[in-house]
């Protein structure tokens, strides 16, 4: 299998985002609108209405009532899984729509919302990423604990045994990372093109491209993080920092209430910046995956 063309892939990723920006926005605006509505509804349901009016519960600082604290925390903990599942599905939906554009399967898009089979296949690949990482971590922990337990049988060679455990653990972690990067970088693209989860093809496309995939991901991730981090710093963060500086060491109730109201007013802006960062990162990565996939499959077809 050929190598991913680095310059072409990174350039193609950013070119896809900026040149096809109208189609990118057309693909993501409805999923984001639905997500915002669902999140707003969840937050409205779990946040006590008195809090919106600035009436917060008061606890004994030295001996707070655990049941009262738990009663406030539990609704927030209950809604987190629903938010996570919503983001998982919406991220898969946007990835499918953007990859169709990046792979040339769709010329333009102004409205997109799909819960079709490809979206659920991409959701399943994301779940597999989590399950694989979790299983790998559990397996490594079990191995280390078992090896440490067996180490008592080899006291004469304790140093050599410990060195072997460390080397094997590092090798296992490195292989797990290698396998995840090589397998899952191209997997969403294979789903969109073949309408099935093609593990073998994704693994084959990633052969010899581990460090190139890592470099591409780092360049895109750092560029997006720096750009939107700067936007957050000069907007919401600067206002919050100024407001927090006015509180002093022992803020009064009125000062704390004023800070809370300032924070509430900035929440929509912060969510908007985070959502735009999410969209930019997803779109640019889709451009990178699409460019790399087309480059490698063209070479593969030519070779065959």
Indicate whether 18 pLDDT > 90.
yes
Tell me the C-alpha distance between 172 and 143, whole Å.
10
Tell me the C-alpha distance between 13 and 219, whole Å.
11
**Distance in Å from the first CA to the final CA of the chain:** 11
Residue 138 CB contacts under 8 Å (≥ 6 apart), including other chains: none
Identify whether 225 is part of a domain.
yes
Q: Read off the tokens for 36.
A: 């915002």
Cα 237 from chain centroid? 22
Identify whether 232 is part of a domain.
yes
Rounded mean pLDDT of 259-273?
A: 78
Indicate whether 257 pLDDT > 90.
no
Nearest Cα residue to 194 out of 68, 93, 103: 103
Mean pLDDT for all residues in the chain: 82
Rounded mean pLDDT of 6-18?
A: 92
Indicate whether 284 pLDDT > 80.
yes
Rounded mean pLDDT of 146-154?
A: 67
* Whole-prediction pTM: 0.81
Burial of 125 (0-12, 13-18, 19+ CB in 10 A): buried
On whether the CB atoms of residues 3 and 209 are closer than 8 A, the answer is yes
Locus of tokens 């072409």: 8
Task: Give the tens place of pLDDT for each residue, 88-145.
Answer: 999 999 999 999 999 988 888 899 998 989 999 999 988 888 888 788 878 878 877 7
Identify whether 19 is part of a domain.
yes
Nearest Cα residue to 24 out of 123, 119, 97, 115: 97
Identify whether 137 is part of a domain.
yes
On whether the CB atoms of residues 106 and 100 are closer than 8 A, the answer is yes
Compute how many other C-beta atoms are within 10 angstroms of the C-beta atom of residue 33. 11
Identify whether 59 is part of a domain.
yes
Residue 109 CB contacts under 8 Å (≥ 6 apart), including other chains: 23, 26, 27, 97, 100, 101
Task: Give the tens place of pLDDT for each residue, 153-189.
Answer: 665 566 676 777 788 888 888 888 888 888 889 999 9
Helices (H), the chain: 6-19, 21-46, 49-52, 66-102, 117-150, 158-184, 187-194, 199-205, 210-232, 238-245, 253-303
Q: Give the CA angle between residues 111, 115, 117 to the nearest 5°.
A: 125
Identify whether 116 is part of a domain.
yes
Longest CA span, the chain: 75
Domain count of the fold of the chain: 1
How confident is the model at residue 118, as a pLDDT? 92
Tell me the C-alpha distance between 199 and 132, whole Å.
14
Identify whether 1 is part of a domain.
no
Q: 262 pLDDT band (50/70/90 cuts)?
A: confident
Task: Give the tens place of pLDDT for each residue, 227-246.
Answer: 988 888 888 777 777 766 66
Nearest Cα residue to 27 out of 85, 105, 154, 114: 114
Domain span including residue 139: 6-303
Identify whether 148 is part of a domain.
yes
Rounded mean pLDDT of 36-54?
A: 77
């Amino acid at each position: 299998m050929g190598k991913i063309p680095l310059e072409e892939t990174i350039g193609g990723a950013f070119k896809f985002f900026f040149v096809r920006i109208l189609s990118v926005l057309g693909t993501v605006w409805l999923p984001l609108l639905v997500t915002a509505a669902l999140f707003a509804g969840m937050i409205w349901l779990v946040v006590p209405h008195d809090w919106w009016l600035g009436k917060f519960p008061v606890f004994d600082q030295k001996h707070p009532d655990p049941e009262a604290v738990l009663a406030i925390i539990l609704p927030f903990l209950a809604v987190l899984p629903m938010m996570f599942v919503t983001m998982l599905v919406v991220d898969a939906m946007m990835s499918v729509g953007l990859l169709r554009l990046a792979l040339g399967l769709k010329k333009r898009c102004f409205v997109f919302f799909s819960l079709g089979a490809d979206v659920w296949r991409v959701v399943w690949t994301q779940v597999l990423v989590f399950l694989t990482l979790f299983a790998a971590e559990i397996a490594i922990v079990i191995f280390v604990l078992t090896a440490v337990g067996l180490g008592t049988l080899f006291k004469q060679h304790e140093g050599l045994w410990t060195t072997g455990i460390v080397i094997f653990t590092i090798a296992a972690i490195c292989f797990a990372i290698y396998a995840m990067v090589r397998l899952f970088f191209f997997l969403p693209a294979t789903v969109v093109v073949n309408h099935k989860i093609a593990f073998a093809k994704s693994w084959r496309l990633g052969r010899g491209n581990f460090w190139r995939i890592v470099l591409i991901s780092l360049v895109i991730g750092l560029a997006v993080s720096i750009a939107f981090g700067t936007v957050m710093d000069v907007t919401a963060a600067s206002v919050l920092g100024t407001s927090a500086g006015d509180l002093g060491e022992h803020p009064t109730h009125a000062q704390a209430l004023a800070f809370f109201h300032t924070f509430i007013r900035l929440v929509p802006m912060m969510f908007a910046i985070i959502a735009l960062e999410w969209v930019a990162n997803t779109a640019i990565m889709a451009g990178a995956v699409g460019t790399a996939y087309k480059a490698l499959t063209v070479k593969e077809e030519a070779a065959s």
